[in-house]
Structure 1
C-alpha cells in the first residue's frame, strides 16, 4: 500500500482526525454509561468494551471514521442473560457472538444485509427507540420531585443549547450542570456511583469464568446469535450512513470480520459486546473525521478521560443519563415514517409495523428483523407471482391453440401457470406454448411446464414450446423430464 493511500485511509488531516475523535469520545461517555445500566452491568464493563472495540476495529474494520462501542441495541439483547445468569455468561456470549461475526465476514455474507428492506430497517430503528425509552421507566416510576426537576432541566439543556452553540456536545453540558446542581444543593438523587464500579486501571485479559461444556453453550447460543445479528445489522446500517456522508465505499465483509474480532477482544478484556454507533459516528464525520485515526483516538481518549476523571464521573446523577437516553430514543425514532404510512404502500407499512410489534413484544431486535425480512420476502414473492400471466391467443390458421406466457415462473407462480391451461378446450388439438416473454427460475417451474405438456399430450394434443431464452433452456434441459 502506497504512503498516499495509507495516509488517506488513516489520517487525511491529523489535527482534524484528533479533534473529531475527541468530540466523538465526549458524546460517547454518557451513552456508554447509560447503556451499561440498561444492560444491568457496571459502567466499567461498557467503558472497557468501548475502549477495546474502538482500538481493535480501527485496525480491523472495513469502514474508516466509524465509531463502534458498547451500544444500546446490544445492551437490550444482553440484559436478560445478565439478569438470569450473570456477567460471566454475558462475556462468554459476547465472545461467541464475535466468532459468529468473524465467520459471517469470512464467508462474505455481508451482502445478505441487502435483503433487509427499507421497511424492516425503519421498523428496527423505531423498535430500538421504543425499547430504549421503555428501559428508562424504572428510573422514573415513583421518582421524587428533585429527580423529575433535573430530568426537565436536562432535556431543556440537551435540546436548547445546540440553538446557541454546537462547539460543546449538549449531553456533556447536561451532565456537568446537573452534577454540579445536585452536589451543591444536596439533592436526594441516585448517582453513577450507585450503579456500580468505574474503571481505575487498564482492563485485564482473561477468559470468562464459565464452565467450558455443552450446558454453557446451550445457555449462551441463542443470546450470542441475537447479539451477533443485531450488532451486524446496526454496524452495516451505520457503515451505509458514512458511505453516503463521505461519498466513499467501504468493505462490508471486512467490517463484519473486524467487528467480530473486536467483540472477541472486548469479551476477553471484561467488556460487553458492541457495534457501530450511529450518533457518535455522525458526530465524528461532521467534525472532520475521515480516517481510522479518529476511531483509534476516540478509544484511547475514552480510557484516559475515565481514569483521570473517575471521582467526578462517579457523582453524575443517574437522571442525567436518563435524560440523555430519552434524547437518544427520540432522535433514533424515525418520525417521518409515521407520515410515510399515509403515502407508502400498505404492504410496506405493514412490514414496518410488524417488525416494531414483534421486536417490542419479544424485546428481541433480532427476532423482529427476522420476522420483518421473512414477511417482506413473502409479500414480494406474491407480488412477483401475480405478474405472471397466460393469455390465450386466437386460433392459428391451422387450428393450433396458442398460449402466450408472460412474467416469472417460479415456485410461487407455478400453480397459477398450471391452472391456466384447460385441457377441455384443447382436446386433440395442436397447442403452441409461447414463452418468449417468460422466464423459468427453479425446479418447481420446470416441473410445472412438464406437468402442462404431459396433460395436454394425454388428451391428444401435439405440444410445441417456443421462445425459451438461453437460461431457461439450460435449466429445463438439466431438470426437465425430457418428454
Structure 2
C-alpha cells in the first residue's frame, strides 16, 4: 500500500511538467477518440466521454503515475459486432462488466503474470505498436482522401521539423504543443484548406450525465455481453500492463501492477455509466506524455479535464486544429516508440529470441490485435525455453563389477520436454538383478515426468529387476508421492490406458 506522502508526491511533485504534458496529450486524444468511436460504430461523443472519464479516474486509482489511459482501438475493435447486433446500450453494459472483471483480476493479483512475458515479446509488442500508430496516419496522407493536398505534406514536414528542432532552442515548452499552436495559427491566418479535427466528426457540446444502460437484466443478456466483456477485460489489461512496463523503463521507476488492474476496472465501470466505451492504457499517448515531461498523476488528470473543456467549451476552436499537426506528432511517437536497436540486435541475439520478436510483430500487424500477437509470442517463448531446458538434461549409467546392478544417474530437469530422452536412455533388454535410478542431480517437475518414471520402473520390474529411486529432493518427492502409481495394483494397465 502506497504511503500518503508518496501519493501526494505523485500528484504535486512535477506540477509544471505534468500540466504542460497533459495539455499536449488532451489535444492528441481528440482525433483518436473520434476515430476509435467510428471503429466501434458509435457516435464520436462515446469515445470522447470515455477518454475524459478514464483519464481522470485512472489518475486517482491507477498504479502507474504518468501513464495515459483512454478509449483505444484495441478495445474498440472488440465491440464492433456487439454494437452492430444489439446497439449502444449493450456496449455500455459490456463496458461496466469488463470493468468489474478487471477489478476482480486486480484483487486476485493476476497482474503478476506479466513477469512471464519475455523481453523479446515486449520488444515485438512495442515495434508492432509503432507500426500500427504509423499506419493509422496513412489515411491522412493518402492523396485520394478528400482535403489531402501537397499542402498537407508540407505542413506535416514543418510539424516534424518543429518537433525535432525546437528542443534545441528550449525544452521549457513541449515541442508537440508548439507544433499544434504554430500550425493552427498558420492555417487560420493564411486561410489554407486542409483537413481539420472538425472533419473527423461533430464534437459534443454538453457534459456527460449519469445513466444506467437500458437492457433487460436477464441471464440471456449476461450470456450476450459476457464474451465481449471478458475479451475487453483481457485485452485492456494486457495492453495496460505492457504499457506500464514500458513507462517503468522510460522513467526508471517501479509501479503496482495489481493496483493498475483495479484502477483500470474502476475507470471502465464508471465510464459505462456516463455513456462511454471501454478503454485501457495508450502506449502512444503515454510516450507523448513522458517525452513532454509528464511524470505524475496530475498529467493524466489534466489530459482528461482539458479534453472535456476543449470539446465542450472550446469545441469550435479545437475543430480548427489541422490534422497535419496531429499526424506529425503521431509520426514522432511512432519513430520514438520503435526499438531501432532491435534491428541491429537480430544479428547477435539468439535465433529463438529474434523469431519470437518478429512473430509478435507480424501477428499484431496482420491481425491488428495486440492480444493475439502477444499470445503467439508468449507461446513461442515457452516452446523455445522448453527446448533449451530439455537440452540440458543428461543421463549416464554404470554397471557394477559383478554385472548384477545397473545405476542410472539423471542430471538436469525432468519434465515433458525431456521424458523421451529419459525413456530412450534406459536399456530394458538388459536384465540386471537391481537397477538404481539416481535423481540427486535432477528435478522432477510435472505429471509427464512422473508418468515417465512410472513407466520406466514398471518395465524394468517386468524384466525381473528390483528398482530403487534414490536422491530425490523434497519438492520432487512430494510430487512423486502424490502422482506416482508404480506401487499400486494394476499400474501398468492404468498407464497404458493413457
Partner of 2:468: 464
Distance in structure 2 (CA, Å) of the matches to 1:76 and 1:430: 64
Q: Structure 2: any 5+ residue segments left out of the alignment?
A: 488-498
Distance in structure 1 (CA, Å) of the matches to 2:209 and 2:220: 26
8 Å Cα contact 2:98/2:230 also seen in 1: yes
Alignment of 1:92-111 (within 5 A): 92-111=93-112
Distance in structure 1 (CA, Å) of the matches to 2:129 and 2:160: 20
Distance in structure 1 (CA, Å) of the matches to 2:30 and 2:21: 15
Matched, 1:152 2:153: no
Matched, 1:251 2:235: no
8 Å Cα contact 2:75/2:235 also seen in 1: yes
Partner of 1:60: 61
Describe the SS at the equivalent of 1:342. Answer: coil
Matched, 1:31 2:35: no
Partner of 2:170: 165
RMSD: 3.0
Q: CA deviation at 1:256?
A: 0.2
8 Å Cα contact 2:37/2:46 also seen in 1: no
Which of 196, 218, 235 is 2:201 aligned to? 196
Distance in structure 2 (CA, Å) of the matches to 1:284 and 1:138: 24
After TM superposition, the score normalised by the length of structure 2 is 0.86
8 Å Cα contact 1:38/1:75 also seen in 2: no
Distance in structure 2 (CA, Å) of the matches to 1:170 and 1:270: 34
Distance in structure 2 (CA, Å) of the matches to 1:323 and 1:84: 37
8 Å Cα contact 2:46/2:276 also seen in 1: yes
Q: CA deviation at 1:137?
A: 2.1
8 Å Cα contact 1:407/1:439 also seen in 2: yes
What whole-Å deviation, never above 9, does each CA across 1:383-440 have from its counterpart, x for those lacking one? 212222211235455642221111111222222211211112x214422211110111
Matched, 1:133 2:134: yes
Alignment of 1:45-444 (within 5 A): 45-71=46-72, 73-74=74-75, 90-141=91-142, 142=144, 143-208=148-213, 221=226, 223-244=228-249, 249-278=254-283, 281=286, 292-396=297-401, 399-424=404-429, 426-444=430-448
Distance in structure 1 (CA, Å) of the matches to 2:113 and 2:381: 14
8 Å Cα contact 1:20/1:285 also seen in 2: no
Q: CA deviation at 1:291?
A: 5.2
Distance in structure 1 (CA, Å) of the matches to 2:189 and 2:470: 88
Change (3 A) 1:92 1:323: farther
Change (3 A) 1:225 1:151: farther
Distance in structure 1 (CA, Å) of the matches to 2:77 and 2:281: 15
8 Å Cα contact 2:19/2:298 also seen in 1: no
Describe the SS at the equivalent of 2:321. Answer: coil
Describe the SS at the equivalent of 1:393. Answer: strand
Distance in structure 2 (CA, Å) of the matches to 1:353 and 1:84: 36
8 Å Cα contact 1:403/1:434 also seen in 2: yes
Distance in structure 2 (CA, Å) of the matches to 1:210 and 1:136: 37
Q: CA deviation at 1:372?
A: 1.3
Matched, 1:451 2:455: yes
Distance in structure 2 (CA, Å) of the matches to 1:348 and 1:388: 21
The alignment of Structure 1 onto Structure 2 pairs a total of residues equal to 479
Q: CA deviation at 1:158?
A: 2.1
What whole-Å deviation, never above 9, does each CA across 1:231-276 have from its counterpart, x for those lacking one? 2233223433454566654321121011111012123223333323
Distance in structure 2 (CA, Å) of the matches to 1:158 and 1:221: 44
Change (3 A) 1:362 1:152: same
8 Å Cα contact 2:404/2:432 also seen in 1: no
Q: CA deviation at 1:92?
A: 4.1
Distance in structure 2 (CA, Å) of the matches to 1:140 and 1:83: 29
Distance in structure 1 (CA, Å) of the matches to 2:75 and 2:480: 47
